[in-house]
Chains A and B, each alone.
Chain A
Amino acid sequence: MRATDNQGSFLNRISIRRNQVVSMDGNHEQELEDIELFQKHVSDRFSDLLSPSDDTSADALLSISWLRKLLDVFLCCEAEFKAIMIMGRDASLISKPPLDRLFHELLDRNVKTLDVCNAVHHGVDAVRHFQKLAEIVVSALEQRPIGEGQVRRAKRALNSLITAMALEDKDGTGNKSTERAWSFGRRGGSGAVNKDRNPGQFRAISWNMAKGWSASKQIQAMSSNLVAPRGGETLALPVYISSTVMVFVMWALVAAIPCQERSGLASHYSVPRQLSWAQPMVGLQEKIAEEWKKKEKKGCSGLLEEIQKMEKLVQSLSEFAESFQFPAEPERLEEVANQVAELAETCKRMEEGLFPLQQQLREVFHRVVRSRAEILEALEQGGKSSTPIM
């Protein structure tokens, strides 16, 4: 009860009950102001993400650096939420209805967020795997002169890459049966025919989430009980805002990075449009959902800008490799050289960005763990002392 600290009024001593009312009123204004500011900050931060002020292509929607900004936004909003709701607040307030229920739902969302963080962290490993294969393609096609040897080398890596991407798209768990098939076929007569099938690089990354775990179900569960509070419930609003940010960020991550089981991701979740502070988020959500729907039909391992770029280049280079005949036409070679340079650039951005992204995911993970502990502690304290302590 910070507002009461400076009130030397004798009323304090006469009537605790009355004092409470007074102090609540004093608090209330401050509170409304804090919440107002919180809404504004959320809105501003997401506006920046929607249309970055410094227009560099590196920060394009769903690029690695954009995702890193998104995680920064999450961390900021989370910290502000805690400052408003937990710090310096009488714990008994949040442990009473209706806030207690909202906080318990928030805790549940927290836990699901942790699992999504882990799944995405794992998905980034899959993207690194793509990167390593793409780097082989670059190494092969950067050589001069380009002959069949180089092209075959590139083709082998490209096939592995296409397969890996397709597997990540399919279920993100790595398909055990396909994975295993090679170990029987290799020395057999028929196994030797398909020389470009590359056992070592064929599989998707398998040590993943628990069996049956589904990213899209998690998102759905996180958002299903998310209801905008009615006018009177002032303190419910920050909980709602914070949860909305949390769900949105997790949803965007799952859309961008390969993740276990993502079917129907776009239809499971939408940001409510009537709220003014959520407008930039609505804009982003629509853009991403649009992309997702487009991609879901033809398959994609993630909306990450770098992955999409890679997919396009891989497609084109793969066509080149399939139809290659020695010697290649100089114009075609020049075109390939440009594409290889682009692929190299994409790999470089992955090399520089993915590791910090994983570190940031871990930071988010630990932050959420801490917040959960703090909320639990506050709830427990509040539960113990249902009579306000002055």
Chain B
Amino acid sequence: MEELYLALPDFMNETIDRYIESIGKPVPVRKIELKQGTISFIGDTHGALDVTAFAMAKENASDLTCFVGDLVDRGKRQLFNLLYILEIALISNKVIIVRGNHESTLTNDVYGFIDELRNFGILEEVYPHILRLYGKLPYALHVSTGIIAVHGGIPRSGIDLTEWDALPMDDLEPSNPMAFEIMWNDPREFVDGFLPGTRGEGTFFFGPDVYDRFAERNKIKLFVRAHEVKKAGYENYFNNRLVSIFSSRYHKGKAAILRVNVEFPEKNQIEMIPELLPGEDWLPWPHP
């Protein structure tokens, strides 16, 4: 089946292009007016198509599903994870993809996605379309009731969300430092202000004081982010006002989904994705 599809890179490009078209005018912060209902957040999947498929079935009742970046690199089925999410976003019209640091030219060469495309023999044909997609993905999802989702965290400059609206799109690395930090920064309980991170040049940790300033200024009640491996699949920070969610198989930790009632963002729920049985590639379909 996979081989049949692979014979037709044009079909894949069509999926990618249709998704780009469906985004409309690309914006750095995707704003959603939603007064009631449920949003499901899925963290880094990194090619864990079994997690993505299970999560989409399990969270079928949600009004919106947000993938908080890092769909490709590292895992087993990176391209198909991306294409599946794009297709289901087009079909359901209730999926939002926020850009992660692996939706970038900086990482794909090192962490496996380029290799996967090259092994399929479709790198030159398909990757340009994927790069075009990266440049159109929003850096953040902002829900009117005070929920924000980004891949990494709060940047040093840009404590006011209105500043984010001016971020340039089609920035493939991105080279804009604010955009870069939104995708790379990490929260830490015992840091004051910002501290240079341990992931490398240009990355920072932000502490609870930064969170407080940001949350107060932008009326944020819940901050959702991904980006870091969590053995339990998730971790709460800053008195449960920030949730770090992780949904991949590659790092051997547990995969989790965050479900949020938009009226009461502080009362969010964690849904664990079952472990794969030894030797199995897929999870049994969830029963409602």
Same assembly: no
Interface residues in chain B, defined as those with a beta carbon under 8 Å from any beta carbon in chain A: none
